[in-house]
Structure 1
Amino acid sequence: MVAPLSAARPYDRDVSTTGTPVTTDEVDPLRGLTDEQVRRRVAAGQTNDVPARASRTVGEIVRANVFTRINAIFAVLFGIIVAIGRVVPDGLFGLLIIANSAIGMIQELRAKKTLDQLAIVGQAKPVVRRDGASVEVAPHEVVLDDVIELGPGDKIVVDGVALAVEGMEVDESLLTGESDPVVKQPGDQVLSGSFVCAGTGSYRATKVGREAYAAKLAEEASKFTLVSSELRSGIDKILRFITFLLIPAGALSIYNQLFNNSQALPDALSGMVAALVPMVPEGLILLTSMAFAVGVIRLGKRQCLVQELPAIEGLARVDTVCADKTGTLTENGMRLSEVRVLDQQMRVHDALAALAVADPRPNASLEAIAEAHPDAPGWQLTAAAPFSSARKWSGASFADEGDWVLGAPDVLLTEGDEVRAEAERTGAQGLRVLLLGRSSLAVDDAQAPGVVRPVALIVLEQRIRPDAKDTLDFFAEQNVSVKVISGDNALSVGAVAGSLGLPGAERPVDARTLPDKQNQLADTVEGSAVFGRVTPGQKRAMVGALQSKGHTVAMTGDGVNDVLALKDADIGVAMGAGSPATRAVAQIVLLDNKFATLPHVVAEGRRVIGNIERVSNLFLTKTVYSVLLAFMVGIAQLPYPFLPRHVTILGWFTIGLPAFFLALAPNYERARSGFVSRVMRMAIPAGAVISVAAFVTYLNAHGTPGVTVVQASTGTFIALGGIALWVLVIVARPYVWWKVALLAAMVAMYLGLLLIPVSQTFFQLDPSNPAVVTPALVSVAIGVVLIEAFWWIDGRIRGERRQLFGAQKLD
C-alpha cells in the first residue's frame, strides 16, 4: 500500500550520534532539512565523513615506493660500498634506489590523479530533500536527519528509518547473504550497503559517517591497491625466497674471499656486494607497479574507472563474458513502435498514460510509453506495484478504473494463449513486446495479478549499439565466449544477438526451463549463448555454474537486476549510466557507457600481464645465474670474478633498459594462470647455462699462466654478457622493427663497454688477451645454441606456436 508522506510525523532529535547534545530540531519529512539545520549539523560534525573511493594518499604512495624490501637490501649493500670508499664507480647500483622510488612514485601519482578524477565523475549521488527541493549531493555531504529519496537501483548510503514507501523492496544480500528482497514499511530500518531493487520511498538518516553499518567495509573496499593478484603474489613469493638466499650466499662469499683467498677486507666486501647485487631482481617490482599505473592512466583516457586495480589483470584472464542485452548490446533508450489494441472497449491510451504517471521512477520501457502518452487522464491511484525483475511486471490500481498490469506476455498469460503466441512472433523479430492487461486482483494483493485479461500489446523498438558487432567480433577472435543473459523474451534476445552475428544465437534458451542442479545447469549454460527470461537469482547461479566449469567470468550490466551476478563474477563491469548499486559492486565502470570500451580494457590487461611475464624472464634469469655463480665460485674457493660496477652495467644493458621498453609494448596474449612455474621454466635452465658458461670461462682464465685478474674478469664478463644478451633476443620475440632497433642498441652499448678505451679504463676491462677472449666466445656460442634449442623444444612440448618475426598474433 502507498504510505503518504504526510503519514510520517515530524520528529525531534536532541543528541548527536557522537553523544554531543545539540539544539532540538523539528524536521519536516516533506521539506527535509533547512539550510540552517544543515549548517548546524556540519558544525557539530554530524556528516557522512567516510572517505570516498579513491587512490592512496600521497604519503602512502611515498612510503610504499621508498620503504621496500629491495630498497632496504640495496641500501645496506650501498652502505658497505660507502664505508670502504668505493662509491664511484662501484656504488652505481645505489642509483637504483632513487630510480625505483622516483619512477614508481611519479607513475602512481599520475594514476592517482586520473583515478580520483574519474571516481568523482562516477560517484553515485543520493537525492536529499533540502528546503522542500530534491537535490543531488555527494555522499560525504549527507548529514544526520537528512531525508533521502530512493528509487530502483539506488544504493543506500547511510543507515536510517523508512518514512514513506511505495512497494519498496530492498536487497540486503551484500550485507546478509540472503538474496530475497525485503519489503520495507514506514518505520523499518534500512542499512547502508543495501540497495533498492523495486519501488520508491524515502528515509531519514539516523547514522552517518563511520557509525553507519557498512562504513568500515566500504572504506576498506575503496582503497586503491596493487595487491591481491596472482601476478604480484607470485613475484612476492619469488622475492621472499631470494631474500633467504642472500644470507648464505653473502656469508659464503665473504668467508671465501677473506680466508681462502686472503683478500683485504675492502676487496672482500666489494666482492660480496658484487655477488649479491645481481641476485636481486631490482626492476621487477618497479616495472610491475609502473605497468599497472600506466594501465590505469591509459584506461582513464577512455573514461574507464578501475575501482580495484587487480581487475586489469583479472579481465586479461577472462575467457567468458556474460552480457546483459539492454544497455550492453542495445542502447538504454527505447521508442514506442506500435500499440495493438485487443479490446476496443478499453481506454488503452488513457491506461498507458496513467500507468506512466503512477511510477515516479519509470524504467526505460515505461519512459518510452510516457513519451508517447504525455496527457495523463487524472485517474485516482489506490495502489501501485513497481516493476520487479523477478516477477517481470508492474501495475497500478485506480479507484474507478480497475486494476491494470503491464509486463511480459509469456509471464502474465498462460501457455497456448493466442495473444502470447502473437507476442512471441513479434518478439522473434528483435522487438520488445509488453502486454497491457486487466488483472482480477488488486496489484498490491499477495496473489496478484491473478487472472489477466489481455487489452493491448505494446511493441517497443530497441536501438542496437553501433559498436556492438565489432565488440562481439573482437571477443570471437580472442577465443572469449560471450553469453547474452537477459530478462527479456528469449526469442527477442536471440533475434538481437543473431543480427550481430553471435554464434549460437539461433538457439536461445528460456531460463524458466533451466535445470536447478548445479552440474546440469553448468552444462546447459556452457553449451548455449543466449538466455531470456532470466531472473536476478538465475543470473547469479549461471555465473557460478560457469565458474564451476573452470571459466574466468566477467559480467557486464547496468541494472539493479545485474547486481548479484556482478558481485559474484570474477570481474564485474558496470555502465556509468547504470544504477548506483551496480557501480558500487563492480570492479570496473565504463563511464562512457560504451560496451566497445571493454576490448580496450581486455587488451590493456593482456599488455600488462604478458609484458610483466616477459620481463620477469630477464630478471629471474639474472637471479638464477647470479646465485649459482656465487655458490660455484665459493665452493671452488676462487675470488669473485666481478666488481660491483661490472654487474651493474651488465644489468643495465641486458635487462634494465630493454625491460623498460618491453614492459610497455603491445601484447595480445590471453593471460594464463601459473605465472611462477612458467617463468621459472625459462629462468632456471637459461640461468644455469649462463652460470656454467661463465664459471668455466673464469676457471679456464684463472688457470692460464700470464692472465691478469682484470683479464680473467673480462673473459667472464664476455661469456656472461653474451649469453644474457641472447636471452634478451629470445624474450623480445616476435620481432618488429623497434625491437630489432632496441636489440641492436643494447649490443652496440655492450661492445662499446669492451672496445672503447675510456670505458675499459673506467670499468676495469681488458679484452686484449686472446687466451681468455677466445674460450669466452666459444662459451657464448655453446650457450646460445643450448638456450635457443631449449626455447624451441619447450615451445613444442607446451604446444605453443613460436614466432621469430612479424606482429604478435592474437591468442
Structure 2
Amino acid sequence: MTTINVTGLTDAEVAERVAAGKTNDVPTRAARSISDIIRGNVFTRINAILGVLFLIVMSTGSVINGAFGLLIIANSAIGIIQEVRAKQTLDKLAIVGQAKPTVRRESGARAVLPSEVVLDDIIELGPGDQIVVDGEVIEESNLEVDESLLTGEADPIAKDAGDTVMSGSFVVAGSGAYRATKVGHEAYAAKLAEEASKFTLVKSELRNGINKILQFITYLLVPAGLLTIYTQLFTTHADWHDAVLRMVGALVPMVPEGLVLMTSLAFAVGVVRLGRRQCLVNELPAIEGLARVDVVCADKTGTLTENGMRVSDLKPFNEADVAAVLAQLAADDARPNASMVAIAEAYSEPPGWTATATAPFKSATKWSGASYGEHGNWVIGAPDVLLDSTSPVAEQAEQIGAQGLRVLLVGSSDLAVDAPGAPGTVTPVALVVLEQRIRPDAGETLDYFSSQHVSVKVISGDNAVSVGAVAGKLGLHGETMDARQLPHEPEQLADALEEYTTFGRVRPDQKRAMVHALQSRGHTVAMTGDGVNDVLALKDADIGVAMGSGSSASRAVAQIVLLDNKFATLPYVVGEGRRVIGNIERVSNLFLTKTVYSVLLAILVGFAGLSAEWFGTDPLLFPFQPIHVTIAAWFTIGIPAFILSLAPNNERAHSGFVRRVMTAALPSGLVVGTVTFVSYLVAYQGRAASPAEQTQASTAALITLLVSSLWVLSVVARPYEWWRVALVAGSGLAYVLIFCLPLAQRLFMLDPSNLKVTAIALGIGLVGAALIEALWWVQGVVLGEKRRLWR
C-alpha cells in the first residue's frame, strides 16, 4: 500500500496547459464530419451516372425528360439531412455515456469529461474505472488493472507506485491515483483508435450484400448500356434528339438509384429512434446485429434485478458485535459495491478501528476483508466460497438463497487478509441477508424474447440457487447449474450451455468461455452486463450491451449502451434491427426488379436493332423516353419504397440476404421485362409509324409495365394490413389519374386513345401479374417459406 498526499494542479496551471494544447482533446467517436457527410452523399457513383445522363438530356432541350435529375437532389438532400441528424443524436448521447474520470486538483476532486483532462493531472482510481490517459501510479491500495483490451492478457496486473498504466485498461480491484503523462493523440489507446477509426455504417451483412448486388449490376450495365447506345444512335436512323432521349430512357432505370439511399435512411432513422429511448449505439451495425441474435446472455444483478439493495435480515451465530464489524468494513471500503452500500446504510456507526491490512472484493475470489490488529481479521463474501459447501451454515445460506435473496457470510479468519494463504480458515459469525428488487419490466422482456425464439441464459456471479429462484420468479424455464461444476473442455461446455438455462457462481473468465462455446455452435450471442467482471464477455460477444449506470469499462467496450438502464429497451433495439433488415429486403426487391427488367428490355430491344441491321427489318426505337421511366418509378418504387422502409417490421432476421433478394427479384424482373417487350412488339407499327402511333406503342408498353410492376409491389407489401392495401391501391389509382387526365397525357407524352392497343396492353399486363403471383407461391414452396396474404 502506498499513500502520498498529492493535491493536484492549480486552476492557473490547468489554464496554462489548456492554452499550450496539452489536453486530452481526442474525438470521442469515429464519425464523419459534416463536410465528409456532404461529400459522401453528393459525390456518389449513382449521382455521377445520373448527372451525366441529365446533362445529355438537357442538350436536347427537353426539360420535362430531365425530371429524373431531381433524384440527384433527393438522393443527396435526404442522405445528408438524415445522417447529420443521426450524427447529432449520437454525439449528444455519447457525451452522456462517456466515462468521467475523477480528477484531483487544488480546488478539490471532481468528475470531468475525458477531453477536460490535462497533462500532469492527478486522476483517482477505483474498481470499474477506465483509465482514460497514459500515466504513472503515485498512490495505490491493492490496485489491480486489467489490460486485456490492449494486450489480450486476461489476468489482472498488480500495480505499485511508479508503474505505468495505459489508457484503454481498467481497474478490477483496489484503488489509487495516477499522474497523466501522455494525453490526447499521444496516449496509447488514442493511437490504436486512430489506426482503427473508420466510419462503421458500411460494416454489416446488409450493407455488404447491397455492395455485392451493386457490383453485379455494374457488370450488367456495361454490355447492356453499350448495346443500347449503339442501336439507338446508329441503327434506328431516327432524329438524334429522339434517339438520345430513348437511349437515356433505357439507361436511367438500370441504375438502382434509391437502394443505397433507402438503406442509409433506414439505418439513420433507427439510430434517431433508439436515441429517443436513451439507447446509445456505439457501432451502427449493432442495430442490425442484435436483430440476428438468437441467444441473449443476461447478467442477473443490474439487468434482471435493480442495482439497489437493502439488508433484510441478520442471522448471528455467536456473541460477537456483528454490527460493529459490518459498520467498520463498510466504512473502510473506499469504493463499495451495491452490497456494501446497503450494509453501510444499515450499519452506519463504525467503532473506529484502524485497518492494518485490507483485501478488496474481486469477482474471481468472491470475498473482501480487513485486518484490525487486536480486533481480529474479518472477511465478508460468498458463504459457499468461504466455507465448505456441505457445512450447516453454507446449507442454511443456500436455503435462504433459494428464495431469491442474496446471502453474505461475515466470518473471522486465522490469517491476515493480505497473507499469501488468505482467507485461511474462516469461522462463521453471521449471515447477512440482502434483498434485491426484480425489475418490473424484466418478466415482460423475457417473454418477448421467448416469443421471438431467442434463448435467454442467465449468467451471474451470485449463488446458483438464488439466481435460479430469481429466474423462476420471472417465468424463465430451465435447469440451474453451479458454474464451478462446468467442464473446461469446449465441446462439453457447449453441451452444458445447450442443456442448462441459469448459471451461478460464474467467474469472469468463464463468462468469456461461455460466449465462445455458444458461438462455436453457430449461435449469434448478445451479452448484457454492467460490471467490470462482464467486460471480457461483452467484448467477445457478437453484440455487447452495457447499462448506462454500469462501470465505464463495460460501457467502453459495448456496442450498445442502455443509458436509462432499462433491460426492457432491448426489444426496441431488436425491433429496430428487424425493421431495418426486413424493410430493406422488401425495397431491395422493388429496386432490383426494376434493374432486371430494364436491363432485359434494353438487351431485347438492342438485339432487335442488331437483327434489323443484319436482316434489313424495321429497327426498334426503345419504347420509353426518360419521363416515362421517371413516372413509372414514382408509384411502383419510389414513394412505396420510402413508406415501406420506415414501416414497423418484427419478422425475424435471417442470413443469406443476397440470395433471397436475387431469388425474388430476378424472376419478377424477367417476367416484367418480357411482357413489356411483347406488348411493345404487338403495338409497334414499324418504321412507317407516325409520331402518334409511336406514342401509342410507347403508352401500351408503359401500361403493361405498370400493371405488372404494381403486382410486384403488391407481392412485396405482403402480408397485408389495411395501410399496405391502401398503399398499393393508392399507387394504382395515381396511375389511373395520370392516364385519364388530358393535361397529364400531354405533359408526360402519353396517348391511350387507341382502345384496341390499350386493351391488349392491359391484358398482357394482367398475364404478367398472374405469372408474378404464381412465381411468389412457387418460390414459397421451393424455399420452404409459409406464404401469408394477411398479417
Asked whether the 8 Å contact 1:54–1:116 carries over to 2, the reply is no
Asked whether the 8 Å contact 1:224–1:307 carries over to 2, the reply is no
| Deviation (angstroms), 1:677 | 0.6
Q: Look up the SS of the partner of 1:134 in the other structure.
A: strand
Select the residue among 467, 481, 485 that pairs with 1:509: 481
| Deviation (angstroms), 1:766 | 1.3
Select the residue among 707, 724, 739 that pairs with 1:754: 739
2:2 alignment partner in structure 1:
3
Point out the more displaced range, 274-283 or 255-264. 255-264
| Deviation (angstroms), 1:467 | 0.7
| Deviation (angstroms), 1:440 | 2.3
For 2:193 and 2:321, locate their aligned partners in 1 and report how far apart those are by CA, in whole Å.
49
2:447 alignment partner in structure 1:
473
For 2:354 and 2:756, locate their aligned partners in 1 and report how far apart those are by CA, in whole Å.
105
Find out whether 1:386 has 2:360 as its counterpart: yes
Find out whether 1:678 has 2:663 as its counterpart: no
| Deviation (angstroms), 1:731 | 0.7
For 1:544 and 1:554, locate their aligned partners in 2 and report how far apart those are by CA, in whole Å.
11
2:648 alignment partner in structure 1:
666
| Deviation (angstroms), 1:653 | 1.3
Asked whether the 8 Å contact 2:236–2:243 carries over to 1, the reply is no
Asked whether the 8 Å contact 1:318–1:480 carries over to 2, the reply is yes
Find out whether 1:608 has 2:580 as its counterpart: yes
C-alpha deviations, 1:772-809, integer Å up to 9, x for none? 22332222122111111111121223332222123xxx
Find out whether 1:69 has 2:45 as its counterpart: yes
For 2:449 and 2:392, locate their aligned partners in 1 and report how far apart those are by CA, in whole Å.
39
Asked whether the 8 Å contact 1:54–1:119 carries over to 2, the reply is no
Find out whether 1:632 has 2:604 as its counterpart: yes
C-alpha deviations, 1:539-568, integer Å up to 9, x for none? 011111111111111111111100011101
C-alpha deviations, 1:111-161, integer Å up to 9, x for none? 122112111111111001011621111101101111100111111000001
Q: Look up the SS of the partner of 1:395 in the other structure.
A: strand
1:572 alignment partner in structure 2:
544
Q: Tell me the number of residue pairs that the alignment of Structure 1 and Structure 2 aligns.
A: 778
For 1:432 and 1:780, locate their aligned partners in 2 and report how far apart those are by CA, in whole Å.
70
Mapping of residues 125-140 of structure 1, within 5 Å: 125-131=100-106, 133-140=108-115
Q: Look up the SS of the partner of 1:125 in the other structure.
A: coil
Select the residue among 735, 743, 763 that pairs with 1:778: 763
Asked whether the 8 Å contact 2:128–2:172 carries over to 1, the reply is yes
Asked whether the 8 Å contact 1:54–1:115 carries over to 2, the reply is no
What letter corresponds to residue 5 of structure 1 in structure 2? I
What letter corresponds to residue 108 of structure 2 in structure 1? A
| Deviation (angstroms), 1:55 | 4.1
Select the residue among 776, 779, 782 that pairs with 1:791: 776
C-alpha deviations, 1:298-317, integer Å up to 9, x for none? 11111111111111011111
Select the residue among 677, 680, 690 that pairs with 1:695: 677
| Deviation (angstroms), 1:224 | 5.5
Find out whether 1:56 has 2:32 as its counterpart: yes
For 2:140 and 2:726, locate their aligned partners in 1 and report how far apart those are by CA, in whole Å.
68
Mapping of residues 296-311 of structure 1, within 5 Å: 296-311=271-286
Query: For residues 551 and 89 of structure 1, do their structure 2 counterparts lie closer, same or farther at Cα, with a shift above 3 Å needed?
Result: same
Q: Identity of paired residues, percent?
A: 66
Asked whether the 8 Å contact 2:123–2:178 carries over to 1, the reply is yes
Q: Look up the SS of the partner of 2:379 in the other structure.
A: strand
For 1:241 and 1:85, locate their aligned partners in 2 and report how far apart those are by CA, in whole Å.
34
Asked whether the 8 Å contact 2:120–2:180 carries over to 1, the reply is yes
Asked whether the 8 Å contact 1:253–1:271 carries over to 2, the reply is no
2:748 alignment partner in structure 1:
763
Q: Look up the SS of the partner of 1:322 in the other structure.
A: strand
TM-score, length of structure 2 as denominator length: 0.96
What letter corresponds to residue 718 of structure 1 in structure 2? I
For 1:66 and 1:132, locate their aligned partners in 2 and report how far apart those are by CA, in whole Å.
50
Select the residue among 487, 506, 518 that pairs with 1:546: 518
Point out the more displaced range, 214-223 or 347-356. 214-223
1:730 alignment partner in structure 2:
715
Mapping of residues 388-427 of structure 1, within 5 Å: 388-427=362-401
C-alpha deviations, 1:376-431, integer Å up to 9, x for none? 11111111111111111111111222211111111111231111111111111100
Q: Look up the SS of the partner of 2:201 in the other structure.
A: coil
For 2:310 and 2:561, locate their aligned partners in 1 and report how far apart those are by CA, in whole Å.
26
Point out the more displaced range, 312-321 or 107-116. 107-116
* Runs of 5+ consecutive residues of structure 2 not aligned to the other structure: 610-619
Mapping of residues 524-603 of structure 1, within 5 Å: 524-603=496-575
Q: Look up the SS of the partner of 1:326 in the other structure.
A: coil
Select the residue among 133, 142, 155 that pairs with 1:158: 133
Asked whether the 8 Å contact 1:258–1:264 carries over to 2, the reply is no
For 2:284 and 2:715, locate their aligned partners in 1 and report how far apart those are by CA, in whole Å.
30
C-alpha deviations, 1:638-664, integer Å up to 9, x for none? 221110110111011110011111111
For 1:229 and 1:455, locate their aligned partners in 2 and report how far apart those are by CA, in whole Å.
56
1:442 alignment partner in structure 2:
416
| Deviation (angstroms), 1:347 | 2.5
| Deviation (angstroms), 1:363 | 0.3
Mapping of residues 199-238 of structure 1, within 5 Å: 199-219=174-194, 225-238=200-213
| Deviation (angstroms), 1:768 | 2.0
C-alpha deviations, 1:492-538, integer Å up to 9, x for none? 0000010010121xx21111111111111111112211000001111
| Deviation (angstroms), 1:82 | 1.8
TM-score, length of structure 1 as denominator length: 0.94
2:615 alignment partner in structure 1:
none
* Runs of 5+ consecutive residues of structure 1 not aligned to the other structure: 7-29, 807-811
For 1:114 and 1:48, locate their aligned partners in 2 and report how far apart those are by CA, in whole Å.
23
1:268 alignment partner in structure 2:
243
Asked whether the 8 Å contact 2:11–2:107 carries over to 1, the reply is no
2:614 alignment partner in structure 1:
none
Query: For residues 223 and 117 of structure 1, do their structure 2 counterparts lie closer, same or farther at Cα, with a shift above 3 Å needed?
Result: farther
Find out whether 1:247 has 2:222 as its counterpart: yes
What letter corresponds to residue 67 of structure 1 in structure 2? F
| Deviation (angstroms), 1:185 | 0.9
| Deviation (angstroms), 1:219 | 4.7
| Deviation (angstroms), 1:241 | 2.3
Point out the more displaced range, 49-58 or 33-42. 49-58
What letter corresponds to residue 3 of structure 1 in structure 2? T
For 2:588 and 2:438, locate their aligned partners in 1 and report how far apart those are by CA, in whole Å.
43
Select the residue among 73, 79, 93 that pairs with 2:55: 79
Q: Look up the SS of the partner of 2:172 in the other structure.
A: strand
For 1:628 and 1:519, locate their aligned partners in 2 and report how far apart those are by CA, in whole Å.
51
For 1:3 and 1:643, locate their aligned partners in 2 and report how far apart those are by CA, in whole Å.
82
Q: Look up the SS of the partner of 1:387 in the other structure.
A: coil
Asked whether the 8 Å contact 1:483–1:529 carries over to 2, the reply is yes
Select the residue among 166, 169, 179 that pairs with 1:194: 169
| Deviation (angstroms), 1:221 | 6.2
| Deviation (angstroms), 1:70 | 1.0
1:15 alignment partner in structure 2:
none
Mapping of residues 8-27 of structure 1, within 5 Å: none
1:89 alignment partner in structure 2:
64
2:425 alignment partner in structure 1:
451
Query: For residues 222 and 435 of structure 1, do their structure 2 counterparts lie closer, same or farther at Cα, with a shift above 3 Å needed?
Result: farther
What letter corresponds to residue 595 of structure 2 in structure 1? T
Q: Look up the SS of the partner of 2:360 in the other structure.
A: strand
Find out whether 1:361 has 2:328 as its counterpart: no
Find out whether 1:428 has 2:402 as its counterpart: yes
| Deviation (angstroms), 1:189 | 0.8
For 1:34 and 1:526, locate their aligned partners in 2 and report how far apart those are by CA, in whole Å.
58
RMSD: 1.4
Query: For residues 514 and 315 of structure 1, do their structure 2 counterparts lie closer, same or farther at Cα, with a shift above 3 Å needed?
Result: same
What letter corresponds to residue 514 of structure 2 in structure 1? M
2:291 alignment partner in structure 1:
316
Q: Look up the SS of the partner of 1:545 in the other structure.
A: helix
What letter corresponds to residue 458 of structure 2 in structure 1? V
